[in-house]
Amino acid sequence: MNRELWEKSVKFHGHECPGLAIGFKACEAAIEKMSLNFSKDEELVCVTENDACGVDAVQVITGCTFGKGNLIYRDTGKMAFSFFNRRKDESLRVVLKPFKKEMDRKQRQEYILNSPVDEIFNFTKPAFELPEKARLFNTIVCEECGEGAPEHKIRINSGKKLCLDCFKEYSRGW
């Protein structure tokens, strides 16, 4: 285990916890199995299926961030992380296995950090394609609230350009 990266992850996250350890260890697995390096741009992409503590470790260790567009949230609630290497056209989905016994938080964290990656994760290919690179969009000013939003988030209602907050969805069922 790389103690320096663990401490860096803890510092970024704010505290130690089993959730952070899961993300830390998932990155360790991806680095080991895919020979990954820190992502300076979008050469590496992580699709996280949860919004839990482990995602902070993913940002620190891999360089995948929401701001760069190479950290994507796919809300399944699963402790799963899919890594894509654009340069090598490789991908790997890392999924936490169910724990075999009850443990308190500290025991669980130590178990995760000190176990071989094959003991705590299942590895498969992602069932979805590599997401496209981040795109830049023009900003459109909402004609209701006056706030800017990217053009792909604007809706038209009664001829007015509206942001998602001001747009009232219309449905008559189904």
Residues 141 and 103 in one domain: no
Residue 141, φ and ψ in degrees, nearest 5: -85, 125
This prediction's pTM: 0.85
Q: Answer for the pair 60, 12: CB distance below 8 angstroms, yes or no.
A: yes
Query: Which pLDDT does position 97 carry in this prediction?
Result: 97
Query: Which pLDDT does position 78 carry in this prediction?
Result: 97
Asked if the model's pLDDT at residue 121 lies above 90, the reply is yes
Residues 14 and 83 in one domain: yes
Q: Is the torsion defined by CA of 72, 75, 80, 82 positive or negative? A: negative
Residues 111 and 32 in one domain: yes
Render pLDDT for 72-100 as a digit per residue (tens, 0 to 9): 999 999 999 999 999 999 999 999 999 98
Residues 103 and 171 in one domain: no
Residues 32 and 110 in one domain: yes
- Look up the domain containing 170 and give its range: 136-174
Render pLDDT for 23-68 as a digit per residue (tens, 0 to 9): 999 999 999 999 999 899 999 999 999 999 999 999 999 999 999 9
Query: Which pLDDT does position 173 carry in this prediction?
Result: 75
Residues 90 and 40 in one domain: yes
Residues 116 and 38 in one domain: yes
The enclosing domain of 171 has a CATH number of 3.30.60
Residues 142 and 120 in one domain: no
Which of the listed residues 124, 146, 165 is the one where a domain comes to its end? Answer: 124
Report H helices in 35-160. Answer: 54-62, 105-114, 117-120
Sheet holding 121-124, edge to edge: 71-73, 44-48, 80-85, 90-96, 121-124
User: How do 139-141 and 160-162 pair as beta strands?
Assistant: unpaired
Number of structural domains (the chain) is 2
